[in-house]
Chain A
Amino acid sequence: MANAYRYLGKNLPRKDATDIVTGRATFLDDFKPAGMLYGKALRSPHPHALITHIDVSEARQLPNVHAVLTHKDVPPEWLTGLPNHRAVLDRKVRHVGDGVALVAAKTPEIALKALRLIKVEYEVLQPVFDVDEAVKPGAPQLYEQFPGNEFTPGCPVFSPEPFNHVKRGNIEEGFKEADFVVEGTYGYEKFPCPLPPESPAIIARWDTPTDVTIWATTQSPTMLKLIMETKMGDTNIRCISFNVGGSYGNKQTVPMPVFYAAALAKAANRPVKFSLSKAEQLLTYDLRLSNRVHAKIGVRKDGSVSAVQGEWLVDTGVSSDLGQGQIAVGLGEAQVMMAKCKNWDLEGRLIATNRSASGICRGFGGQELKSALIPLWGQAMKKGHLDPVECFKKNFVQPGDGYFWRDGKWWVCREVDYVKTMEETAKKFGWREKWKGWNTPTSVNGTKAVGVGVGVHGNADAGEDESEAYVRLDPFGNAILQCCVAESGMGQRNSLCKMVAEIVQVPLESVRITPSDTLVNPFDFGLAGSRGSRAIGSACTRAASDAIRQLLERAAPVLKVTPEELATKDGMIFVKNNPEITIPWIAVMGPMNTITGMGHYEADYSMPNFMIFFVEVEVDLETGQVEILNIAEGTDVGRIIDPLNLKMQFHGAFGSAGVDSAIYEESILDTETGRIMTGNMIDYKWRPFTDFPPFDTVVLESEFDTHVFKAIGVGEITGAPAPGAILMAISNAVGVDIMDYPATPAVILKTLGKS
């Protein structure tokens, strides 16, 4: 069927394209409120220590220093983390790089000079870096209130009762039904850095003693407001974001920079910018979760999973931002992947260790769990000589299958069935020709061995949380979309304008979207979990339809017809079966009025999204070097809103988002000193322009019952199935199981007994 839409499914220049290619687009670093000071932090050299003495008198006397804060001076009621546990500054430091003192000064150089004048004495404590060690009796304790270094379960924003344990069916019976049972410990433990090019930064300005404006590098201003207000006593936050220089889920609530900027701004009574250097971003800001799974899986001869049992130890470093929520989503996503399994006993535990915090990032728990779980499941498939694609087809959720989601409620899948997507993507990749069996290369040519692998992922959060939007029509044929959506690269502000233009039937230039500012916009949870297309799209399209309904209702008496007989195009209202009869909007509204439509979306977790990722790798058996030869990834998005932006979301699977966390991206922790050694963009490895392999995409459009445009988002999850697929491909190429992330040459040669 030909595309009947004016804008949807078409590649049109993004509305902000000219600003971006001319350097005019404003990022936080390009903005400066009057009187702004610069904040800097003195950071701990020890992974675990008590501050026994701190002297800031010299720093305070330095000219043009406006505030110096220690743990004695920060607002005591301000506590971030989940549950609230992390002070702005504490007498105890818990990782190398933890905050010790803060300075606000006229210039960054003066602030740094002041930091050097601060004298600190520490009582060094024993650190702990390993999750299994951290939970043992007698281990060093990070927090008094979390004995055994285990954070209290539960994420109240997601569910009133904690959801950290999937327990259903009869686990013993499940294993009895299994033909192949495997058990073991698998990990995904190198907490790579999401590394957006724009480092996290916050500017805070107190407008009254309780009202603070936070200009933030956040992809979700309302989420920042909603969550950080619960951490800062009696504070009202107005949060504004500009263009955001990448986030990948990593710049959401931006907790510590918000605390530092806001505390300094309060003390100095001036606006303060707290911007992380690249080293601070890599060494002290939120990384991906680290995790280790001790688990057992039972699989029947036909490939269906009969039982999953285990303990999932999630190492979140020094602090949990939303780790309990990530565990809840991860457990949900495991069930979505193994939806035919009736017998579960899988528990997630969130553990503190003495390294910088893990936080929110793309993948959000599920990627971490499954990057460990899929290799274990693969061992069972191997025992049964089962084809992994067939196993995924056999087990992935289909309409009628149920799962406990992050809200702790039982949801039954409707609408979405991804078997066809799996088959078509497998065909495009050439799976049938390339797959030769477990630990069996596709081909070997001298020292070069080729292997293939596959992974899947799906997330019901594509329908998460609440959104509100207003669409205001003016008399001159323009629509103003009021919705609190930031631009951090996904082009979502533009896509939402396209949806509104499609309903209001005006040129795309006539649709404008308000700045991403919590003061001027209604509630929107933000860009998270691929929710933009469905959740925010629903609110915006409903608001647009509501505005048009009001317009036509007001036009009906003027034209002496019923509203149902009317339609509008390009600012004109006409009678559908007699388009000669036409009047402009202004004839209905007058020159001094506007019409506002409202739209709302409520969370619905019954429709997970989906990705299947195929990869072919070549391993040099002499050097252990892995090269990706090609990738094919497939999904079904219901309907494509923006083809090129969608394609680029697929490409975003590289980096710590997935692919490269399996080959070379890692934060390297020196457990002797507690320091992360990868504190710059040379030591921290990333994929350069010269290294991008062919990448095929398969996109089905099955028109799901989501909203008027039948679309569901997938952006978050394109990288999530990649790590497991890549280990599988490498293991098949070399003929031996490679189970450590990242599979660097050292890991591969060691496993092959060559080093």
Chain B
Amino acid sequence: MRHTLAVLVENNPGVLARVAGLFSRRGFNIDSLAVGRTDNPTVSRMTIVVEGDARVLEQVNKQLHKLVDVIKISDITADEFVDRELVLIKVSVDPSLRGEVMQIADVFRARIVDLGKKTLTLECTGNNGKVDAFEESLQPYGIKELVRTGKIAMQRGSRYTGFTERSQKMNGNQED
């Protein structure tokens, strides 16, 4: 099963290598990984989508916790959450077919961000399913180039994965 982890890390050099190295070394499968800084410039947030059963996920969680730079991990899979991904797609389109492609863009609420003599570059955001569908519908026109950001996600409602000076890793009994 796919799990979505929100991981807060110290914004230190090499932190991405530490996390990525851990996954490859221990044979955990990363589906996607997106990283950027948070409102606190010393803290970055990674959204990691990882494939595995409950036992694998338990190890992923525990091994991530052991990294000194990892501050907090939330597996938000079971929660209600909003997830988004951004995709840029460049398709080669004969001017006569531009209208068709623009109609598809409309359906997906995608935007045209560049218009060339023979190409059209589109931007679309949404969850994985929408982005997949968008990609599929442009496939027949000939995709020249495609780039996806990987998924970012956030819990709905009042639950959050935030960093405060007092936040601890969620090792349960570490509080005392």
Does B associate with A? no
